[in-house]
Copies of this chain bind each other. A is one copy, B any other.
Amino acid sequence: MAGREGLRPGGRSARVQASVHGAVQALMTRMERGDITIPVIAAEAGVTPSTIYRRWGDIQELLADVAVERLKPDMEPVATGNGREDLLAWAEQYAEEMSSKPGREMIRDVLAAQDGSGAYQCCNFTKQQIEVIAERAKGRGEAFPDVDAIMDRVVSPIMYRILFGEAPDAAHVARLVSGAMELISPALVGEPA
């Protein structure tokens, strides 16, 4: 990712980065994505365009950088008392957030960047959330599938449908969660009460 940690976190650079990120987010709320250009962002941020070109290279890298930051989860998955319900609640919220217009735009921005590290980071954010749910379940003595299995059976289908077709509805998400939980007790796991 361009323009992120690694170079000069000190005063001015950090201020410029924050200002540019803020400008992008502000502009997104009031114009179409196609009208947001680097000169426009620079004006909003009170910065000269060449600063943005030199730090981020092009607008796709900048938008991806902002999107990754916004996709970083800001809280732990809600705890309901058992792993299956935790996963279901998390998956429903995830599907809804990612299906929304801003959600889809952020994913698109992340994937459109040349630098693939943003997508990798987003995937890790998701894994970490699931890890929390899995650890909680195991701490209570429940069996819970591998994180990778949840990625394959729950996260991937949700994301695929958002990217390539129509967003999944709640019933479909519930079916995906059931399908994933079958990995624990293949025959015994029925529908939730």
Residues on A lying within 8 angstroms of B by beta carbon are 33-34, 108, 111-112, 114, 119-120, 122-123, 151-153, 155-157, 159-161, 163-165, 176, 179, 186-187
Contact = CB atoms under 8 A, between A and B. Distances in A.
A111 B122 CA distance: 17
Contact of A160 (B34, B108, B159, B165): B159
Contacts of A160: 151-152, 155-156, 159-160
A122 B164 contact: yes
**Copies of this protein in the complex:** 2
B111 A163 contact: yes
Given A111-B108, A120-B164, A153 B153 contact: yes
A73 to B, nearest CB: 15
A69 B103 CA distance: 27
A11 B28 CA distance: 42
Contacts of A159: 156, 160, 164
27 contacts: A33-B114, A108-B111, A108-B112, A111-B111, A111-B112, A111-B163, A112-B112, A119-B163, A119-B164, A119-B165, A120-B164, A120-B165, A122-B164, A123-B165, A151-B160, A152-B153, A152-B156, A152-B157, A152-B179, A153-B153, A153-B179, A156-B157, A157-B157, A159-B160, A160-B160, A186-B186, A186-B187
B120 A34 contact: no
A88 to B, nearest CB: 16
Which of the listed residues A114, A151, A152, A176 has the most CB atoms from chain B within 10 Å of its own CB? A152
